[in-house]
Amino acid sequence: MAQQQAGPPVVAVFNHKGGVAKTTTACNVAVCLAACGLRTLLVDLDAQGNATASFGHLPLPSLGTIDVMAGRMALAAATLDTPFPGLTLLPATTGLRMAELELGGDDHATRRLDEQLAEPGTGAAYDVVVIDCPPSFGMVTLNALLAASAVLIPTRPDPFAHEGLANTWYEVRRLCQEANTALGVAGILLTMTEADGAIADGARAIRAEFGEQVYATEIATDPRVGEAAQLSMPVTVLDPDGVAGLAYVEATGELLRRLARREGAPAELPENWLSDTLNTLRDWRGGQLALRRVPGGERGWVGSPREIGPEPPPRHSPVVAEPPVGGGMIGRQWLAAAFAAGLLTGGAAMFAALQLGWL
């Protein structure tokens, strides 16, 4: 039974079930941690690379997490900067799609990420690490959970996701007993919630079953999350005061309190942490050159007029060439002459055909 090595707190964002806003949660929590002033490393272990793309890295880089886990590269050499001070990214690569095959024959592969994060240089460089895990439980996820000190489980409160939550909870508890005794649960975060209906009933059922393991904060369904994905940025930067943006900031506060309690530290955050974090996120939003006028609605405008520039033409509007100045009369005269010539030519041809007996 292995004990996790020393290093910064490592939070693995994991759920067996896909489609529960796992990557969205990992990205936004990481950004909020950085906005709180913590030096944060976000590790993208999902082969889809959505966390990497969320920070503008498309196509995916050629070097990243698979190279670290395979022992080809040190973690520090594979990281990338992000537009947000204090947040560093260890990106996904296309090679992650074959990671299970590549790592399957390496008995030591499951511990490489753990060892790299526990290196003195890494421990000194970051205050906290967030890992975006794939939804499947394989060699890649095992790397994350053996390196982690806590698991944050996002889940949508519908029947299928509820079953995935139960399976995830069981796997995490089993792994804690058998392989990583330092691993704990950093809580369950309800995502894509609704005020009433079956989703609200599912949320109440999860709260009744898991009690205080469930965060008080819920991430309600918000169209701004989709808009943020289109702009390759977290919703906490695009709209920090919106429904989902503000909820992710508050959920990050709950995460910090839970991590502090696990380490025996005071769980209370500084008095002005929420307002300071929001102000930082607002500053980051204002500084993003990617913010433009988004077609399709009044709420699409974000940023200052200086950043927007001139209004672009409609995307699919036909291009009509304008006639040269003063050329209208010449054009009409040319058309009249061409029409008269056509009549004369047609008449001459008909006369010749009559003479030859063709008509």
329 has pLDDT over 50: no
CA dihedral 293, 191, 250, 180 (to 10 degrees): -120
Q: What is the mean pLDDT of residues 2-6?
A: 53
**Mean pLDDT over the full length of the chain:** 82
User: Rounded CA gap, 26 and 67, in Å?
Assistant: 21
The least confident of 28-32, 244-248, 263-267, 335-339 is 335-339
| pTM of the predicted model as reported, rounded to 2 decimal places | 0.79
The yes-or-no verdict on residue 280 having pLDDT over 60 is yes
The residues pairing with 81 across neighbouring beta strands, listed in sequence order, are: 88
147, pLDDT greater than 80: yes
Rounded Cα distance, 240 and 343, in Å: 72
pLDDT of residue 267: 75
pLDDT at 356: 46
Q: Please give the CATH topology (third level) of the domain spanning 10-308.
A: Rossmann fold (3.40.50)
**Quick one: three-class SS letters along 256-293?**
HHHHHHHCCCCCCCCCCHHHHHHHHHHHHHHHCCCCCC
- Has residue 4 got a pLDDT over 60? no
| Residue-wise pLDDT tens digits, 167-197 | 899 999 899 888 899 999 999 999 999 998 9
pLDDT, average across residues 96-113: 84
Confidence of residue 359 (pLDDT cuts 50, 70, 90): very low
- Respond yes or no on whether the N-terminal peptide bond of residue 318 is cis (omega within 30° of 0): no
Buried b (16+ CB within 10 A) or exposed e, 109-135: bbbbbbbbbbeeebeeebbbbbbbbbb
Residue with tokens 């940025």: 233
Please report the pLDDT score of residue 328 as a whole number.
Answer: 46
SS3 243: helix
| Average of per-residue pLDDT across 72-101 | 93
Look at residues 225, 266, 276 and name the one whose alpha carbon lies nearest to residue 248: 225
Tokens of 265: 């530290």
- Specify whether the CB–CB gap between 184 and 145 falls below 8 A: no
pLDDT of residue 276: 97
Residue 336 has pLDDT above 70, yes or no: no
DSSP 195: S
Spatial separation of the C-alpha atoms in residues 120 and 90, rounded to whole Å? 18
Q: Where are the domains of the chain?
A: 10-308, 327-359
Banded pLDDT at 29 (limits 50, 70, 90): very high
Count CA atoms within 13 Å of residue 122 on its CB side: 26
User: Pairing state of beta strands 40-44 and 10-13?
Assistant: unpaired
The pLDDT confidence band at residue 338, using thresholds 50, 70 and 90, is low
Distance CA 258, CA 268 (A): 10
State the average pLDDT over residues 114-141: 90
**Cα 113 from Cα 66, distance rounded (Å):** 10
Tokens of 182: 């330092």
Burial 189-207 (b: 16+ CB within 10 A, else e): bbbbbeeeeebeebbeebb
Amino acid at 55: F
Model confidence at 344, pLDDT cuts 50, 70, 90, reads low
